């Protein structure tokens, strides 16, 4: 692995996030997963952030099982949801992607939860609720992009502003 890639710390659900490097800013990759049906955009974004020297929280769980009951009584589901909330709260930047053709109900929930956090950077091109996303982003001063490269550039700028001393 090249030296520049080693400078990032990667955390996939449900890795222990308290082991992150506190001297580096953190980004949470929020957005469309759809039970694994959405393309793995998180891997592509992680590659594009390789020189950002940050902690990257990725909620896409390798061993996700669609048969898990979405309930307080399901230990795996409960652990996943709590990991995501903890990582969202810890993150300095929330990179939120609404994929074309996706319903993304949890992404919309996270969008609402963190709309006033000043952490969000949104990528929303042809999402079925793009109008709603655009109005909320405008109202709360959240940067919203329709192309991935501009979105990634904004994430990198925001991470640089969060560098910890």
Kindly list the averaged pLDDT for each block of 10 residues, start to end, along the chain of length 165: 58 91 95 83 94 94 85 94 97 97 95 98 96 98 97 96 73
Please name each of the domains of the chain with its CATH number. 3-161 (3.40.50.450)
Please report the beta strands in 18-158, taking only residues with DSSP state E, as ranges in sequence order. 26-31, 55-58, 93-98, 120-124, 144-145
What pLDDT score was predicted for residue 160?
A: 93
Is-contact 42 60, C-beta < 8 A?
yes
Whether the full predicted model's pTM is greater than 0.75, yes or no, is yes
């Amino acid at each position: 692995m090249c030296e520049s890639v080693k400078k990032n710390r990667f955390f996939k659900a449900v890795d222990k996030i308290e082991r992150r490097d506190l001297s580096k800013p953190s980004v949470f990759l929020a957005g469309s997963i759809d039970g694994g049906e959405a393309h793995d955009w998180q891997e592509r974004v992680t590659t594009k952030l390789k020189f950002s020297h940050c902690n990257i929280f990725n909620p896409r769980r390798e061993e996700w099982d669609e048969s898990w009951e979405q309930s307080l009584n399901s230990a795996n589901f409960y652990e996943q949801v709590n990991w995501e909330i903890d990582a969202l709260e810890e993150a300095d930047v929330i990179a939120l992607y609404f994929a074309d053709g996706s319903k993304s109900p949890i992404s919309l929930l996270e969008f609402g939860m963190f709309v006033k956090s000043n952490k969000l950077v949104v990528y929303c091109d042809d999402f079925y609720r793009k109008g709603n996303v655009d109005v909320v982003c405008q109202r709360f001063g959240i940067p919203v992009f329709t192309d991935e490269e501009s979105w990634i550039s904004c994430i990198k700028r925001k991470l640089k502003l969060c560098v910890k001393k």
